[in-house]
Amino acid sequence: MEVFNVDHPLVFVFGLLGNIISTGVYFAPLPTFIEICKRKSTMGFQSFPYVVSLLSALLWLYYAFIKEGDTFLLISINSLGTFIESLYIIIFLLYATPNTKKQTFKGLSATLVFCLVISLGTLFTLQGETRVLVVGWVCVGISIAVFAAPLTIVFEVVRTQSVEFMPLPLSCFLTLSAMMWFAYGMSLKDICVTVPNILGFILGVVQMGVYAYYKKVASVSDKKPKDQHMMNILSANSEVHPVDSGRSSEADDDVVAAAVDDNEENKKEECVLVNVKQQSLDHIQLVICAT
């Protein structure tokens, strides 16, 4: 197994870049799990994305081992993916509720059984290139499912007309990762690596396009309520009272104090909204795209 083939330098270059970018994607949920450990609670998060990512990494790892040629970089990134996703699942199980643990164990058991059936079934019933193709197309199917998962986020953004559910950096990294692995597959002339990353690139571009459009819409719509809010404040505090109206300086102080209290309440409401949005973004980080 060659790490660097002088006859195919592009395979190494694109594979190395794919490893670097995919490593960043795998570590994207790390802040979420640090928070889970601090709070000692899964905070309503689901383990399904990690189980699916583990399944994808295991199958690609098996594919890389049975395929001849320059597959070292496939083995390296999917070995890392298997380790990280397993670690995420272990942490999740430590702090999950009994019911959530039960669901996670079911999903994990199904994943391991499926991997065992595929590996043993192809190992003892198929040979050579046929075995590689069968395992490769199974990997393609799993990868397409992983890539298609963010579509639910796109639909949510369109429904709510808000980009708070879609973190742009993660979408960019997923798109770059798909580009690098597509180029790697083309250089290696491996259709099983190339096909799912074509879809991954297209979906990544769609996500960024949706983000750009609704970000612009949100910025325009947010400006109007703010302008109206300022007009309301000005009109509410623009009352002119004659000198002989009997309104004392103490009454004026009461008006100012009431206005300050209103501003404090508005700030508290904004803080609550920011916390809700932050939790929504954390959910999105759970979506991990494997090679």
Q: What is the pLDDT along the chain (291 residues), one digit of tens a residue?
A: 555 554 678 889 999 999 999 999 999 889 889 999 999 999 888 888 899 999 999 999 999 999 988 789 999 999 999 999 999 999 999 999 999 999 999 999 999 999 999 999 999 999 989 999 999 999 999 998 888 777 777 888 888 888 876 777 878 888 999 999 999 999 989 999 999 999 989 988 998 899 889 888 766 555 555 455 444 543 444 444 443 444 444 445 554 455 445 555 554 444 444 443 444 444 433 333 345
Q: Which domain holds residue 280?
A: 9-215+276-284
149 within 8 A of 166, measured Cβ to Cβ? no
The confidence score (pLDDT) of residue 237 equals 45
- The reply to whether 230 falls in a domain is no
Instruction: Give residue 171's pLDDT.
Output: 82
Contact, 184 vs 193, CB < 8 A? Answer: yes
Whether residue 157 lies inside any domain: the answer is yes
**Is the pTM above the cut of 0.75?**
no
Is residue 42 situated within a structural domain?
yes
Cα 195 off chain centre by: 21
**pLDDT at 240 (0 to 100):** 40
Instruction: Answer yes or no: are the C-beta atoms of 53 and 29 closer than 8 Å.
Output: no
Residue 266 lies in a domain: no
Q: Is residue 263 part of a domain?
A: no
CB atoms within 10 A of CB 16: 17
In the prediction, which pLDDT does 170 show?
79
Query: Is 264 a domain residue?
Result: no
Q: Give the position of tokens 């019933």.
A: 125
Q: Is 239 within a domain?
A: no
Paired tokens of 290: 């494997």
Consecutive H or E run containing 211: helix 191-236
pLDDT given for residue 264 in this prediction: 54
Q: What is the largest CA-CA distance in the chain?
A: 102
User: How many domains does the structure of the chain reveal?
Assistant: 1
Side chain identity, residue 47: S
168 inside domain: yes
